[in-house]
Amino acid sequence: MGIKVGVPAPLRQYCDKQKEIELEGQKVKDILDSMSSNYSLLYDKICDEDGSVRQYVNLYVNGVDIKKKDNLETQVTASDAISIIPAVAGGRSHRFHYIQ
């Protein structure tokens, strides 16, 4: 039995349009390893080259940020659900971004 991982809408193009995928593992890092094997393009959007979760992506286990648990060492079981949720921040600036 795999662990359910909810995928944000813009990233579903990298996992056959699935809203939720099931991945095997006992820790969050195992889940990411499984993602790397099964959905490598999705993995690339979540993690950078050294395997760290990207700065503006957060992973939650049952609604709790893994940074408040044991990060990638956080244990998961079949009844748990992992959510991938972008960090959302910004604000006005005197320096505008160049727009196409």
Partner 1 sequence: MDSTITITKELLDNIFDHCKRDYPYECCGILIGDFDSKRVDRILGAENLRKDRMNDRYEMNPKDLIEGERLARELSLDVIGYYHSHPDHPNRPSEYDRQRAFAGMSYIIVATKEGKETDPKSWLLSEESQQFIEEIINII
Q: Which residues bind partner 1 (CB under 8 A)?
A: 6, 8-11, 19, 56, 58, 60, 63, 65, 83, 85-93, 95-100
Phi/psi of residue 16, each to 5°? 55, 35
Nearer to partner 1, 37 or 52 (CB): 52
Residue 78 has a CB neighbour count (10 Å cut-off) of 10
Structure tokens belonging to residue 68? 């408040």
Helix (H, G, I), strand (E, B) or coil at 8: coil
Strand 64-65 to strand 57-61: parallel, antiparallel, or no bridges (unpaired)? Answer: antiparallel
Tell me how far, at minimum, the Cβ of 40 lies from partner 1, in Å: 16
Task: Using the structure block, give the residue that is written with the tokens 């809203």.
Answer: 19
**Shorter beta-carbon distance to partner 1: residue 78 or 85:** 85
- The token pair at 27 is 């820790």
Least distance (Å) from partner 1 to the CB of residue 88?
A: 4
Provide the minimum distance between the beta carbon of 28 and partner 1 in the complex, in angstroms, as a whole number.
Answer: 17
- If the CB atoms of residues 26 and 70 are measured against partner 1, the closer one turns out to be 70
